[in-house]
A and B are shown apart, each in its own frame.
Chain A
């Protein structure tokens, strides 16, 4: 078994010159940030309250405690792969996204037409991992064998992560917006493995696309009482040439309670979303 690895390695080396010589069409450049969509005074950058953080709390049995009297607020982060988007802070780090040609084309179209076909604007579920980058507060309720996420936004959405250290998904999953989520604790980190997506949700408002082969590994770590580090690895061989990782720092808002928010109650945005009419 071990002897095979050098052979595989050699075969790979032999292929490299072939790739180098093939006429690979140059990728089109990434579409540019459309810039602030509101004057800064109307949409100020999320101001994180200045509070003194304490140590990250733990449950009596030693698991990290992601709850308490308050809620998590991710802020608006319009692009998973950029540190600034539409004039405000976005994800924690820039990523050179390993697009496949169709996802690059789709991304560029969506950015250039100002995300006019965004499913979230039609009140459809925001999806994973986007709800960790969207300006809606949420809470995590931990029971013995579940982590229940409840969200104010979208449609007052919920999501249940089954805690199962064996990490098995059911076979024959029905494709869904939120996927099937199985999690376990690794020290102070909640690790969630998600598959079974329908491929319709956008990864962010900018418009990073996925296929229904999307497989996510999410890592939630409360680094102090006020801070949740979120890291997600996007593994989708039909959309990206290799897995890539995006991250966001989510802040705790002490005392915040979630309000009912029902998107389709008075949804009047989508008819006005006509894209970029400027040529």
Chain B
């Protein structure tokens, strides 16, 4: 018994800093728990964001409203806002697709195609966009387009247009931590692309709960 436990300690301790990996060597972002994003109310970096004039006015208007009309109607928060609200989600990895399954928002899920396909030429604009992904070393890079212009980028109310192109980078830096970097490229709303970030923490053993936004509306 003593030897067994000693052995376990020896094995576990060096593994503390090492992230789990799939059979193909890629980082394992899924399994055995949920990810909890840090709440980031305002995505703007300290240097500010390069607004188009209309977008600055729109931001001020949204910011004064405090709560998006879309939230009041229980519509999906969009990307990247769904990654900036402190609501847990799970990542499910399959060979040709990675799924993000969210407790918060509108009980929705999101799919990232890993099969090398391109974005559709004329996408039907939607709430969560069309996402394709690839690995750059240990970083999952998710490229999304095809959004409608109804969502806010964050709780603060940064607006965007249907030309929004989001590049997200997910890096599991240790078993319990994911670095999240996001680049906003929307020439309709910003004069140049801008980058910000956040972090997510892993909660081993936790599960998603059912939370139906419309339940609260009907009460």
Partner-B contacts on A (CB < 8 A): 67, 122-125, 141, 143-146, 148, 150, 155-158, 160, 162, 174, 176-178, 258-260, 262, 264-265
Contact = CB atoms under 8 A, between A and B. Distances in A.
Nearest to A175: B210
16 contacts: A122-B218, A141-B94, A143-B92, A148-B99, A148-B101, A150-B99, A156-B108, A158-B101, A160-B90, A174-B210, A176-B209, A176-B210, A176-B212, A177-B210, A262-B126, A264-B214
B214 A160 contact: no
A124 B214 contact: yes
Interface of B: 30-31, 73-76, 90, 92, 94, 99, 101, 106-109, 111, 124, 126-128, 207-210, 212, 214-215, 218
Contacts of B124: 259
Contacts of A145: 31
Given A150-B109, A156-B109, A157-B107, A262 B76 contact: yes
A125 B30 contact: no
Chain B contact residues, majority secondary structure:
loop
Contacts of B208: 160
Per CB-CB distance, the 10 closest pairs between chain A and chain B, nearest first, are: A176-B210, A158-B109, A260-B126, A156-B108, A158-B101, A150-B109, A148-B92, A155-B106, A124-B214, A262-B127
A176 B215 CA distance: 10
B126 A158 contact: no
A143 B31 contact: yes
A125 B101 CA distance: 16
B212 A124 contact: yes
A143 B107 contact: no
Given A125-B212, A157-B108, A262-B75, 7 more contacts: A124-B214, A145-B31, A156-B76, A158-B109, A160-B207, A174-B209, A178-B210
Contacts of B111: 150, 258
Nearest to A154: B107
B162 to A, nearest CB: 15
